[in-house]
Structure 1
């Protein structure tokens, strides 16, 4: 019998079997069976109970024909059932396809069609979404309704299905490193959303890296508050909590109740939470922060966008040195840089490293590249590109997007920035945010930072609009702090000596609020649409 031909190094080719991610839950259930795994409103479930419920749902899905590789579309608000559906899918080797629950029926229908979903778990309050998804994706064979009741119109009730299969357990699927586990749909800020394929091997690395770089020392004695949809970054964050047996605490209602968030932090001695800068701002500016004990917090993690310096200072004054920033996209599962608590300084100065989003995460590498893919020297701006085990497998069924996203093995983020001599990364903006005024490139981030130092301004977004004289000019939309007033001319006069003239916005508008995504990020696409709807954009 002859041996297979060995590649270089003398190692025979083999498959890369890895741990099924659902094993994280099984491990915690074995080690801490009676500890609280998840809290939602007045109810809580132990690790043993959660593991048993996931077994039952996995068995139910298997009995309905779901097998390895099938895609399960999930349209649901945060709940214990929504969270369980992730692990039920993983156990079967199926692919979890969560939506942003705030999307329209038509948008969810597109996700069902684009993913090739064959089953759907849907919150009963979204009947139109289920109908639209089944029409667009005829491969969806059945719907299980969360909170649907015994006679639910959408399909069988989730908890009734769990009860019917209680005590059963479907075989845990064998998986390899590149087997998909999650279709992480991008936000679609430029065109329709794309399904980033996350895999079992990649996500095991990401969970480990989160625990290593973002919240070291996290154990089963910790608790994590969820203030964002589990469908995206918060779900990745909670996967790491499951891995180390930390309790997950869900907000009881759909609305973001800041006072309730602080009450839960005190009640459950919450030690970490995943947020975005706008949520940190809302939490730390609310009077409830001074009414509840939050001394248990060790890591308040924010991502999605850099935090404006003035907001950062305020949060540090209120919370102490517990802020952790990371930079990353869904395609890299948020896993590019980290700025730990020790490097968040209240006082300006060299130690503060103002404007940086940190250094490379463990096992990841950044390359700042020019338009030809050549690495540029430290201090020079270019496109932020990245490689490492956290990079996704590619976009599902989208070779054109994959060809654009990768160059010479590097994933192209589309963000612009530079690294200093020590490797700290500074983001200067999205390539798509840049506008050209009078022949000069303008990156709005710099001007936005200046505007936010005005004591009356709470939020700002600047975008480029067409101009017959200069090609493009900046339009700024601001939200003022409560009780403040400010005129357009006064703000521009205040700003003029602080920034180059060509970077000054031509117009400033004051709104009650800025449009935000379901994850709390300011969406310039929607601001532009609102400017147009109000008739504020110049004629072409």
Structure 2
């Protein structure tokens, strides 16, 4: 039986007690301090009703307390439900309602959002991490008098400790469930395939720790490395942080790298300590990675391909393979991952032929929360059906060809057309709409809305601005159209469905 995530956290604390574990600005916490604080927070959360196997929403941004809070939840056996602060109130309400969360932990910079949610969800208790919505003491204040011992919780390997939302093929929110065992397996996956961390490593985090960036915390913790957390990503501040903290590794999405290479300080930044720039989450524009490698050296860049359902890496493109035609690949298959390519009838395709990528491995999630039909479609006989289409070459390099869904990956975030289309159709000026992704140098894919206006409506720039603003009011800002194209008609398939594939081709040819 492999160790649970909780056991790995306890092990890291015991082995590296006096070393610095977490850095945020000028503040530091040692392994022992993180361990004791997370124990205290675990006890306090339990006293507040957030006990073993209870789902608790986390409305927090990156901070010094990010790691202690996450570890507290794992130690208490809590099933944490991270809430991306960039999402809208309506999306947060849906997430909390669907997962039946009775408690939410909020960060001090998100009290306004928490008040909006509290008004919409009066049955939910909101617990301030450092501040409070009312006169109740914060969790941090309560923790001062809580026991520093590990809470006694009957943890099981199949206990769900993370319910992580992503989107379905129709834009419907879905929540992948990771367990004590699967999250520990993610740690092993990273150490085996992507980042064999050491006690000398310093990893710089600018992306939100609730996404892929946070996956690297536990591998580093287990090996005695240092986690440096930034409050967010600003290219200039990020470049300054590399030599300031002696960063040896970082993880970025392609849009971040694009913003970095455009910064005037990119080529002059001291990156002598930096050994690994790990990137993934969306396709990388070739001009961007080539420019980055020219400035910082090919030997620093590592690409991974994975999904929320089976993180972190299904395949890895190592630095030595960042060359020629292989730059279009997402890498070779990870050590403990099985991969097959299937045709529409579920049969393995011939070598060199495209097929849907299906995978299995110990890091696979335990299905989706409260979505049996979607779980049955995606998780079949131990295999995860990714809905991505790929090809394997003679040397075992995996090349992505297409997605079986119409998902758009913009700036590392998933955007599903149907969700944006539904919002646009609420506007009285819109008669018909199709949303697709179009190539973009910065965002990789730009959300593009093709609109047929209602009778008597003038399609002009003012209307474009109104439609974009309308979407921004309803959903997360990154989902709003970056381009609105007006047309007299939208292409349809033979059965009358929106033909997004044809539309993407037409827009590309027009460009």
Scaled by the length of structure 2, what TM-score is found?
0.79
Q: Which of 132, 136, 145 is matched with 2:128 structurally?
A: 145
Task: Give the secondary structure class of the aligned counterpart of 1:65.
Answer: coil
Cα deviations across residues 104-159 of structure 1 (Å, max 9, x unaligned)? 2221121111122132111233335334544665663x32213426xx43853232
Matched, 1:228 2:228: no
Partner of 2:19: 35
CA distance in 1, matches of 2:110, 2:341: 44
Cα deviations across residues 299-352 of structure 1 (Å, max 9, x unaligned)? 11111112122111111111211111110110112231111122123xx3xxx5
Q: Shift of residue 66 of structure 1? A: 2.6
Partner of 1:245: 224
Partner of 2:141: 160
Q: Shift of residue 266 of structure 1? A: 0.7
Partner of 1:318: 295
Aligned-pair Cα RMSD in Å = 3.1
CA distance in 1, matches of 2:85, 2:154: 31
Task: Give the secondary structure class of the aligned counterpart of 1:432.
Answer: coil
Name the structure, 1 or 2, with higher relative contact order (CA <8 Å, separation 6+).
Answer: 2
Partner of 2:279: 302
Does 406-415 or 49-58 show the bigger shift? 406-415
Structure-to-structure mapping, 1:181-192, within 5 angstroms: 181-187=161-167, 190-192=170-172
Does 201-210 or 280-289 show the bigger shift? 280-289
Structure-to-structure mapping, 1:465-484, within 5 angstroms: none
CA distance in 1, matches of 2:361, 2:337: 5
Alignment check: 8 A CA contact 1:381 1:417 kept: yes
Change (3 A) 1:325 1:538: farther
Alignment check: 8 A CA contact 2:18 2:30 kept: yes
Alignment check: 8 A CA contact 1:221 1:246 kept: yes
CA distance in 1, matches of 2:442, 2:212: 25
Q: Which of 310, 315, 318 is matched with 1:337 structurally?
A: 315
Structure-to-structure mapping, 1:273-292, within 5 angstroms: 273-292=250-269
Does 329-338 or 283-292 show the bigger shift? 283-292
Partner of 1:439: none
Q: Which of 381, 387, 394 is matched with 1:421 structurally?
A: 394
Task: Give the secondary structure class of the aligned counterpart of 2:312.
Answer: coil
Partner of 1:354: 327
Partner of 1:389: 362
Q: Which of 187, 193, 199 is matched with 2:173 structurally?
A: 193
CA distance in 2, matches of 1:52, 1:459: 41
CA distance in 2, matches of 1:156, 1:431: 49
Change (3 A) 1:225 1:190: farther
Partner of 1:207: 187
Change (3 A) 1:324 1:76: same
Task: Give the secondary structure class of the aligned counterpart of 1:290.
Answer: coil
Q: Which of 26, 29, 53 is matched with 1:69 structurally?
A: 53
CA distance in 2, matches of 1:460, 1:221: 34
Alignment check: 8 A CA contact 2:255 2:444 kept: no
Partner of 1:176: 156
Cα deviations across residues 344-378 of structure 1 (Å, max 9, x unaligned)? 23xx3xxx523110111111011111111111012
Q: Which of 92, 107, 124 is matched with 2:108 structurally?
A: 124
Change (3 A) 1:465 1:66: closer
CA distance in 1, matches of 2:55, 2:477: 30
Task: Give the secondary structure class of the aligned counterpart of 1:342.
Answer: helix
CA distance in 2, matches of 1:458, 1:108: 28
Cα deviations across residues 265-323 of structure 1 (Å, max 9, x unaligned)? 11221111111111122223322223431111111111111212211111111121111
CA distance in 2, matches of 1:462, 1:50: 40
CA distance in 2, matches of 1:38, 1:341: 28
CA distance in 2, matches of 1:522, 1:378: 42
Larger radius of gyration: 1
Alignment check: 8 A CA contact 1:117 1:137 kept: no
Task: Give the secondary structure class of the aligned counterpart of 2:313.
Answer: coil
Change (3 A) 1:187 1:283: farther
